[in-house]
Amino acid sequence: DTGVSQNPRHKITKRGQNVTFRCDPISEHNRLYWYRQTLGQGPEFLTYFQNEAQLEKSRLLSDRFSAERPKGSFSTLEIQRTEQGDSAMYLCASSSRPGRRTDTQYFGPGTRLTVL
């Protein structure tokens, strides 16, 4: 257990439905990252927060995806009008070290999304 929690751990939904995932980072960490991993591949970066500010977004994050971190603590990732191609493991990670670029990221267990 790294101290980063994600809920739910598994989500099965029908195409076209909206889903929301939650990530609770390690409490003193100010940086929070979302990644997506499809079967047999390495994770791919989606977006990154420093405190409540969303500082980077990948081109993978289409307009159906939105992420928030309203109070600089937990974060949510919402996917609207899900498609079968959204089926993947969604990973959250957090890190600390303000002002440092080389910080260790601590990963949550992931939320596995299956879109039928």
Partner 1 sequence: KNEVEQSPQNLTAQEGEFITINCSYSVGISALHWLQQHPGGGIVSLFMLSSGKKKHGRLIATINIQEKHSSLHITASHPRDSAVYICAVRRETSGSRLTFGEGTQLTVNP
Q: Is 51 in the site for partner 1 (CB under 8 A)?
A: no
Per-residue CA distances from 32 to 18, 67, 90 (Å): 22, 11, 13
| Position 60 contacts partner 1 (CB under 8 A) | no
Using CB under 8 A, count the residues that bind partner 1: 31
Instruction: For residue 72, state whether it binds partner 1 (rule: CB under 8 A).
Output: no
Cβ-based burial of 30 (10 A; exposed 0-12, middle 13-18, buried ≥19)? middle
Note whether 55 binds partner 1 by CB under 8 A. Answer: yes
The answer to whether residue 104 forms part of the interface with partner 1 (CB under 8 A) is: yes
Closest by CA position to 77, among listed 7, 26, 30: 7
* 110: amino acid identity, one letter: G
What is the number of residues in the chain? 116
Q: Which of 24, 52, 68, 103 binds partner 1 (CB under 8 A)?
A: 103
Of these, 27, 42, 71, 99, which contacts partner 1 (CB under 8 A)? 42
Nearest to 43 by CA among 107, 100, 94: 107
Least distance from partner 1 to the Cβ atom of residue 80, Å: 23
110 forms part of the interface with partner 1 (CB under 8 A)? yes
